[in-house]
């Protein structure tokens, strides 16, 4: 019986696949490679000494996607695949709603048809909108500020209704804070298309000399140094959260929701400083105006995951920066040589 991982060639997906393989799971990857490289698969094999089955399929191609279920015995699904760029979602909301919502509905309908009951969904701290206070608990009010976030919240709401009606379903919604870092080998890591929107990949590109200078979006927020504060979490810790969540839903019916963060908030300037230390170079930066839609502060209370999953983030900020840098330094062009 296999675990099907959609988006398994992506950043968080690939790290999770390796941990699943290392823990003895049979893994099947489905990825259309629209935002990932085929070369990830060789590196997964290199790092785990196992070769998971791979299907290059877009989930929206329902017929082809269903073939996978005819050919394999699938017990659980971890669903990473989806569009994830906030700015792009504002430009192309229809594409975001179509891709993220329809693909999830296709999966849920196929799960019903093939009697698959275990589902882990990648959600995001973005569903908390601008939180009333920090640290953020899972029962805080939910709202969104962009179509990407709205797709996450809509899927969460669908999952709640579907689980209410079907008591056989076991679903874990994982709300990620800000994933950074890379596999300790430096062989897999984050490789966004084009100019990065997120802070860490932008900093690593400045450090390697591909981008000139980091723009810091505002230094007048009500935070300790005026720059935005976030809860950065090592991708290996995040990946491990999926294994723990899978363990949980295999023995627990119904829907569970967990924050996956470290509970610590670091500012943009804290990140610049920590990364400079890790790479041994100055990161040039300039302060520019705030980015529309940004919030001052966002960090998690992850005590629910600690109590109920026995999960806790292990890696500190220095380690996150060291691993991000090793990946970038060893792969200045990402997966393309
Ligand atoms: C962003 C998304 C969030 C999504 C997450 C996925 C927005 C508004 N939010 O979160 O919905 O779930 O990515 O990873 O885009 N910063 C700079 N300069 C940069 C880039 C970022 O100063 O070039 C600052 C931002 O203002 C923020 C912090 O760095 O204070 C982190 O930004 P980012 O990495 O983009 O993550 P979020 O905005 O938290």
Name the residue of 121, 152, 217 whose CB sits within 8 Å of the most ligand 1 atoms, as the mutation to test its pocket: 217
**Does 43 map to a domain?**
yes
In terms of residue numbers, what domain contains 143?
2-182+232-261
**SS3 state at 181:** coil
Tell me what pLDDT residue 312 has.
97
Residue 303 lies in a domain: no
Which residues sit with their C-beta closer than 6 Å to ligand 1?
Answer: 86, 124, 126, 149, 178, 197-199, 202, 214-217, 228, 230, 268, 291, 293-294
Ligand 1 centroid vs 200 CA: distance in angstroms?
9
How far is it, in rounded angstroms, from Cα 19 to Cα 184? Answer: 13
Q: What is the mean pLDDT of residues 285-293?
A: 95
Residues 165 and 254: beta-carbon distance below 8 Å: no
Mutate to test the pocket of ligand 1, among 198, 206, 286 (most ligand atoms within 8 A of CB): 198
> Rounded mean pLDDT of 46-72?
98
According to the model, what pLDDT value does residue 163 have? 97
Residues 11, 96, 128, 148: which is the catalytic one? Answer: 148
| Residue 129 counted as domain residue | yes
Asked whether residue 320 carries a pLDDT value surpassing 90, the answer given is: yes
Residue from 269, 278, 273, 264 nearest 319 by CA: 278
Q: Which residue, by CA, sits nearest to atom 17 of ligand 1?
A: 216
For the entire predicted model, the pTM comes to 0.98
pLDDT band at 91 (very low <50, low <70, confident <90, very high): very high
Is residue 72 over pLDDT 90? yes
Decide if 74 is inside a domain.
yes
> Which pLDDT value is given to residue 252?
87
CA of 229 relative to ligand 1 center, distance in Å: 10
Of all residues in the chain, the percent with pLDDT exceeding 70 is 100
Annotated catalytic residue 114: no
* 267 in any annotated domain: no
For the CA of 87, the nearest atom of ligand 1: 15
pLDDT at 332: 94
In the chain, % of residues over pLDDT 90: 97
For the chain, what is the domain count? Answer: 1
Can you tell me which atom of ligand 1 is nearest the CA of 126? Answer: 11
- Domain annotation covers residue 272: no
Of 40, 337, 324, which Cα lies nearest the Cα of 202?
A: 324
**pLDDT of the residue at 45:** 98
Residue nearest to atom 9 of ligand 1 (CA): 86
* Range 125-133 average pLDDT: 96
Mutate to test the pocket of ligand 1, among 121, 221, 294 (most ligand atoms within 8 A of CB): 294
Question: Residue 86's closest CA among 136, 140, 151?
Answer: 151
Alpha carbon distances (Å) from 235 to 152, 156, 229: 19, 22, 18
Whole-number pLDDT of residue 60: 98
Task: Please indicate, yes or no, if residue 103 is contained in any of the structural domains.
Answer: yes
pLDDT bucket at 166, cuts 50 / 70 / 90: very high
Query: 128 C-alpha to center of ligand 1: Å?
Result: 14
The minimum-distance atom of ligand 1 relative to the CA of 125 is 12
- CATH number, position 105: 3.40.50.720
Per-residue pLDDT at 337 exceeds 80: no
Residue 238 within a domain: yes
């Amino acid at each position: 019986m296999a675990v099907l991982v959609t988006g398994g060639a992506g950043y968080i997906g690939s790290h999770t696949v390796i941990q699943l393989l290392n823990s003895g799971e049979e893994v099947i990857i489905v990825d259309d490679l629209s935002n990932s490289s085929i070369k990830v698969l060789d590196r997964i094999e290199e790092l785990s000494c196992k070769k998971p089955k791979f299907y290059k399929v877009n989930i929206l191609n329902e017929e082809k996607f269903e073939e996978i279920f005819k050919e394999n015995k699938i017990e659980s699904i971890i669903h990473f695949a989806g569009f994830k760029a906030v700015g792009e979602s504002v430009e192309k909301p229809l594409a975001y709603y179509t891709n993220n919502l329809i693909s999830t509905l296709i999966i849920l309908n196929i799960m019903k048809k093939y009697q698959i009951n275990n589902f882990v969904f990648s959600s995001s701290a973005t569903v908390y909108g601008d939180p009333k206070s920090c640290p953020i608990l899972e029962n805080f009010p939910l709202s969104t500020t962009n179509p990407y976030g709205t797709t996450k919240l809509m899927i969460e709401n669908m999952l709640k209704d579907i689980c209410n009606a079907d008591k056989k379903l076991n679903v874990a919604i994982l709300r990620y804070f800000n994933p950074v870092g890379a596999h300790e080998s430096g062989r897999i890591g984050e490789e966004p298309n084009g100019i990065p929107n997120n802070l860490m990949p932008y900093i690593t590109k400045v450090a390697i000399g591909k981008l000139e200078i980091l723009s810091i979006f505002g230094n007048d927020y009500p935070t300790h140094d005026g720059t935005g504060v976030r809860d950065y979490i090592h991708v290996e810790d995040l990946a491990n959260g999926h294994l723990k969540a899978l363990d949980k839903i295999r023995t627990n019916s119904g829907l569970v929701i967990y924050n996956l963060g470290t509970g610590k908030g670091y500012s943009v300037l804290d990140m610049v400083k920590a990364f400079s230390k890790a790479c041994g170079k100055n990161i040039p930066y300039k302060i520019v105006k705030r980015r529309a839609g940004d919030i001052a502060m966002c960090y998690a209370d992850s005590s629910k995951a600690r109590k109920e999953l026995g999960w806790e983030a292990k890696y500190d900020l220095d380690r996150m920066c060291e691993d991000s840098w090793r990946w970038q330094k060893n792969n200045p062009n990402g997966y393309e040589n």
